[in-house]
Amino acid sequence: MRLVVKYYIETTDDFGKTADLMAKMQSTGTWKEMTAETEAIVSRFGAKVESALITGEKSVYELPTKTQPGKKVTCGTVEISYPVENFGSKVSMLLTTIAGEIYDMAELTAVKVIDLKMPDDFLCGFKGPKFGVQGSREIVKSYDRPLFGAITKPCVGLSPKEISKLAYDVSRAGADFIKDDELLADAPYNRVKDRVIAVSEGLKKSYEETGRTTMYAFNVTDDPDEVINLHDTVAGHGGRALMFNVMAGGFGVLKKLSAYSTLPIHCHRDFAVTTFRPKYMGITSRIFTLLTRLCGGDQVQCGGIGGYLYETDEEILENIKACSEPLGSIKASLPVSSGGQWAGMVPVNMRKIGNMDFMLLAGGGVFSHPGGGYAGMRSIIRGYEEWMQGKKLEDSVDNDLRAAIRHFGTPVY
Catalytic positions, written as ranges: 153, 268
Q: What is the DSSP string of 325-370?
A: S-BTBPPPPEEEEESS--GGGHHHHHHHH-SS--EEEESHHHHTST
- Distance, CA of 206 to CA of 172 (rounded, Å): 5
Of the candidates 328, 267, 318, the one whose C-alpha atom is nearest the C-alpha of residue 296 is: 267
CA distances from 362 to 99, 181, 311, 382 (A): 33, 11, 17, 14
Distance, first Cα to last Cα, the chain? 46
Q: Note the residue count of the chain.
A: 413
Of the candidates 373, 369, 375, 393, the one whose C-alpha atom is nearest the C-alpha of residue 383 is: 393
Asked whether the beta carbons of 175 and 214 are under 8 A apart, the reply is yes
Residue 66 backbone zone (phi > 0: left; psi -120 to 50: alpha; other: beta): alpha
Q: Interior CA angle at 279 toward 6 and 355, to 5°?
A: 75
Decide the pairing of beta strands 73-83 and 2-11. Answer: antiparallel
Q: Which amino acid is at 56?
A: G
Instruction: Report CA Rg, the chain.
Output: 23
- Omega within 30 of 0 (cis) for the link into 119: no
Q: What share of the chain is helix, strand, coil (3-state, %, to 5)?
A: 45, 20, 35
